[in-house]
Amino acid sequence: MNQLWPQELERFHAELEAVNLGPLWASIAAFNSVEPKAKPIPYLWKRALIEQKLEKAKRLLEVGIGSAERRAVFLINPGMKDLQPYGWGGATQTLYAAVQVVNPGEHAPPHRHTSAALRFVMKGQGAFGIVDGERIPFEPGDYLVTPDGSWHEHMNEGNEPVVWMDCLDTPFVMAMNVSFTEFYPDRQQPVRVPIDYSARRYAGGMVRPVSDRKPRRIALARYTWQRTCQALDGLSEFDPDPVEGFAVEYINPSTGRDADGRIGAWMQKLPPRFRGRAHRHVHTCVYYVHRGRGYTVMNGVRFDWEEGDFFALPAWTWHEHVNLSDAEDAYLFSTNDLPLMEAFDFERQEDYTEHDGHQPITGVFTPLMPEP
Ligand SMILES: [Fe+2]
Ligand SMILES: [Fe+2]
């Protein structure tokens, strides 16, 4: 058989596409990529920019009224803007992340959905959540879980706005076409157990109530900042991990697995002048800078961060964290899709071995800043 001329081949490709067919010979390199080519890009959002937009949202919207069921501004990864709508809210291809504010007296009504959700309280006192009948106080630095299908609502009974980070696996759920949402028939769900019930049941931290030998889906709904710090302080009596510093992951104490079945979460402490070695992995992360000042190098570009900033780490991206302070610890809260990657046996990691484990810096990221 004669080989087709390039023009003829191109015409044939167009002919196939017109009838919704595709030529594998022209697509196989894209399908079988030698290594992942992530659509999301390494990116950083400044606290001042997010706060400015949230302030505007506070003026324009009242929570619980009209369409404003929740008042949150979410992170859109510029590499995913072409996915609709709004890139399915992706900070990475699986993780949605947002900053939500609830004003005194406001009540975000109960609902439940297929997406799993977690929160990290950034600032403000006086807010509560009710998750599957348990009323949970929200204190700064607390980490809270709302696994898929659990009824949840939030109210601010204090005197100041309360702000937290939300993270959901919405982009993953949307990509799988499995998103369902239900609205609770009443304005508030009934409270079924004493306040902060699950945290009080696990007050010991190292032991499990015997009834939880049969795993509970939400064994612990609230992970307090105080207990997380205790764990990090204990680790800090020893040498830091050369890549991560001192890092802990939030787990379900009845199973030992991730606190949420689909979204992982960490708190990590970088001691003063810590300069982590670089590595990369296929799981993706969204970082929130809880405290401190430093930078992260992602694929050779330096992303400077300070308290309140967010940054996204796409798949298979070299990264290393640095604390710039001589005296203060830096704390990075992060969420990840490691549970998903491990469920499908996708997870893969690699250490950066050149230049003593540090990437040469080829550029400095310029973040978008708030309007004057
Ligand atoms: Fe929700
Ligand atoms: Fe990492």
- The range of the structural domain enclosing residue 54 comes to 43-359
pTM of the model as a whole:
0.96
User: Is the residue at 203 inside a domain?
Assistant: yes
The Å distance, Cα 280 to ligand 2 centre, comes to 6
In angstroms, what is the span from residue 333 Cα to ligand 2's centroid? 13
| Structural domain contains residue 364 | no
* Residue 276 CA, ligand 2 centroid: distance in Å: 10
Let me know if residue 53 belongs to a domain.
yes
Is 67 inside any structural domain?
yes
Ranges assigned E (strand) in 157-249: 162-168, 181-183, 222-223, 246-249
> Tell me, what CATH number does 313's domain have?
2.60.120.10
pLDDT at 280: 98
Determine, yes or no, domain membership for 20: no
Q: Show pLDDT as tens, one digit a residue, over the chain (372 residues).
A: 566 678 999 999 999 999 999 999 999 998 999 999 889 999 999 999 999 999 999 888 877 665 578 899 999 999 988 876 666 779 999 999 999 999 999 999 999 999 999 999 999 999 999 999 999 999 999 999 999 999 999 999 999 999 999 999 999 999 999 999 999 999 999 999 999 999 999 999 899 999 999 999 899 999 999 999 999 999 999 999 999 999 999 999 999 999 999 999 999 999 999 999 999 999 999 999 999 999 999 999 999 999 999 999 999 999 999 999 999 999 999 999 999 999 999 999 999 999 999 999 999 999 999 998
Alpha carbons 310 and 332: distance in angstroms, whole number: 10
pLDDT score, position 4: 66
d(CA 20, CA 264): 39
Q: Per the omega criterion (within 30 degrees of 0), is the bond before 85 cis?
A: yes
In-domain check, residue 30? no
3-state secondary structure of 232: helix
Look at phi and psi of residue 292 and say left if phi exceeds 0, alpha if psi is from -120 to 50, else beta: left
Domains in the chain: how many in total? Answer: 1
What spacing in Å lies between the alpha carbon of 117 and ligand 1's midpoint?
A: 7
Torsion angle, alpha carbons of 72, 227, 94, 312, to 10 = 80
How far does residue 315's CA lie from ligand 1's centre (Å)? 26
The two three-digit tokens of residue 86, written as one number? 């709004």
pLDDT confidence of residue 85: 66
Strands 301-306 and 363-364: parallel
Q: Please report the pLDDT score of residue 87 as a whole number.
A: 66
The rounded Å distance from CA 115 to ligand 1 centre is 8
pLDDT at 5: 79
What spacing in Å lies between the alpha carbon of 160 and ligand 2's midpoint? Answer: 35
Q: How far is the CA of 112 from the centre of ligand 1 (A)?
A: 6
